[in-house]
A and B are shown apart, each in its own frame.
Chain A
């Protein structure tokens, strides 16, 4: 039964990581840019939750969404748009600089408020951190929320992409940016919509993350984003579906491998502290076998930058 428990937990983590993957994949689709600052966007939204902890949950969540979307749009306007024609390495480093900026700004506010410790507490939806017992299984409500939120978000996104004009334009832009512009797709609008949706998703991720780890600090969301970045590429970053699956797979694998490996042992790969190594090694093998991504349609590797 413990295996079933780890399986369910792993699905929860996978669902959360899939959301991060969508945020990264959407922006990559239109900008061909791996956004290393996405984790900091999640962190920013989580701080919005922490600072409005005394507000009603709904208001606090709405604010977090607004903050993440606003920050996302500002980043696009200030850092990414002027560099859109620049070399990929320049855009990449611009995302590092933005990430560095946001992270240190988050650290800086501690010196102003003279607070230290482990971070700022968030009580939004804290009730969902309790577990419900079914037979011998303990499933946290947060797991259900993660699965539910990611299903709802993915369904919403699918509707946006498949049923609206802007969605069609986004898909066209992701496939061939230059040609779609020639056909009348407005580059700035498409990019702004993609970036804004990514911002909304960052806020959703922040809400879910803050339930299971309610202390917010400048590294909140960082490790998750890093591993999802890896997962997205291993899954296949050229299509949103394969990127999302990659995110889910790596989240699932991280959680499952972490709980199935023994807890003691110091030699590499023998205990759960080496879980990242196991995952990264699997990613390397996957990329060597299928450089265009595990879930990519065969023979559909597009021209890659970076």
Chain B
């Protein structure tokens, strides 16, 4: 592939995120800006999920476990010391008596996510298909259960609050773009290519000497690190977090975003997260009353979530392989500086004669 082309492939998703950040910081009221920051963090969460699910073709319900670990670790470690001793007296002394800057807590979140994913992945990555999906769901169940009840490592069933809200436009955008770059670098590396080959044809990949277990484990660990990091971004955006915020709903939502965008491309992950987030914001605001071309529309409270579900279904019905069709970003042909050869036919030409 020509150099210009990979550059475009990477630039497309980044440009979307930056555009969303710049446009919303300029033209959106400050009250609504946090919703757009939230959308950017969702891009981070979905991209982290994509690194494993998109490249391996194995559905994982477990990535939100790493988001949860990252979010809670990052949250617990950044609460100011004097208030932490008061609100979380049951913590292990190591956690209770130390604190760190928000930036370092993101590094910690990524590290813990990676370690947890690696340990879990060693046995689980031997599984494939439904067994892999359900066992990762079981991991999510265990993570949620332990985080909810073990008060030595976190707030237990109460809400963890007083977390410094350091995720502003800068941190959200820089963090998310960093995740996109890592995801892109990975999928173009030989490891990423091996895993994608195994996704398309496991038998052929194995015959070509690809160690599928090892490649899946690598992607799972990287995805765990990025998920933990994204969890750190998320918690510093929210300022407070409870365990059910990083459980099933988030799992289903991020998977839905990925599939709606197009499961097998990075661009799909970014487009899916942004599309669904924008619909959520739009429909959410229509509950407060919006004006479109002079018409005042006010939807009844609670309709927005129903609307988002309908939007997802409609997109899936119209484009079953996602908005991007699982393809990476490319410029329209007329804008390309170096014209490419003719596109390969997508379906084999019908055979003539017998």
A-side interface residues toward B, CB under 8 Å?
A: 34, 36, 78-79, 82-83, 86-90, 92-94, 96-101, 104-105, 107-108, 110-112, 226, 229-230, 233-234, 237, 266-268, 273-274, 276-277, 280-281, 283-284, 287-288, 291-292, 304-306
Contact = CB atoms under 8 A, between A and B. Distances in A.
Contact of B303 (A87, A108, A281): A108
Which bracket fits the contact residues of B?
35 or more
Contact of A280 (B141, B148, B252, B256): B141
B306 A93 contact: no
A268 B312 contact: no
Given A97-B312, A101-B310, A89 B259 contact: yes
Contacts of B301: 111
Contacts of A237: 130
Contacts of A304: 128-131
A276 B145 contact: yes
Contact of B321 (A87, A277, A280): A87
Contacts of B135: 283-284, 287-288
B255 A96 contact: yes
Main secondary structure of the interface of B (DSSP, over half): helix
Nearest to A280: B138
B339 interface: no
B139 interface: yes
Contact of A284 (B139, B149, B150, B320): B139
Given A34-B130, A111-B302, A266-B150, A101 B313 contact: yes
A34 B255 CA distance: 15
A226 B248 contact: yes
Interface stretch (B119-127, B158-166, B343-351): B119-127
Given A97-B309, A288-B123, A108 B316 contact: no
Q: List the 6 shortest-distance A-B pairs measured between CB atoms, nearest first.
A: A304-B129, A101-B309, A86-B320, A280-B138, A104-B305, A233-B134
Given A276-B142, A288-B126, A100 B305 contact: yes
27 contacts: A34-B130, A78-B313, A87-B320, A89-B59, A89-B255, A90-B322, A93-B260, A93-B312, A94-B313, A96-B252, A100-B252, A104-B309, A107-B302, A108-B306, A111-B300, A230-B137, A267-B152, A268-B150, A274-B146, A276-B145, A277-B145, A283-B138, A287-B131, A287-B134, A288-B123, A288-B126, A304-B130
Nearest to B311: A97
Given A93-B260, A104-B302, A226-B248, 6 more contacts: A79-B317, A100-B256, A108-B300, A276-B145, A291-B129, A306-B129
Contact of A93 (B127, B134, B141, B256): B256
Contacts of A111: 300-302
Nearest to A36: B252
Contacts of B128: 291, 304
B80 interface: no
Given A230-B138, A284-B124, A90 B320 contact: yes
A145 to B, nearest CB: 28
Nearest to A222: B248
Contacts of B240: none
B263 interface: yes
B12 interface: no
Nearest to B157: A273
Contacts of B306: 101, 104-105, 108
A265 B246 CA distance: 24
Nearest to B300: A111
A91 B208 CA distance: 31
B317 A82 contact: yes
Nearest to A94: B316
Interface string B258-277: 01100100000000000000
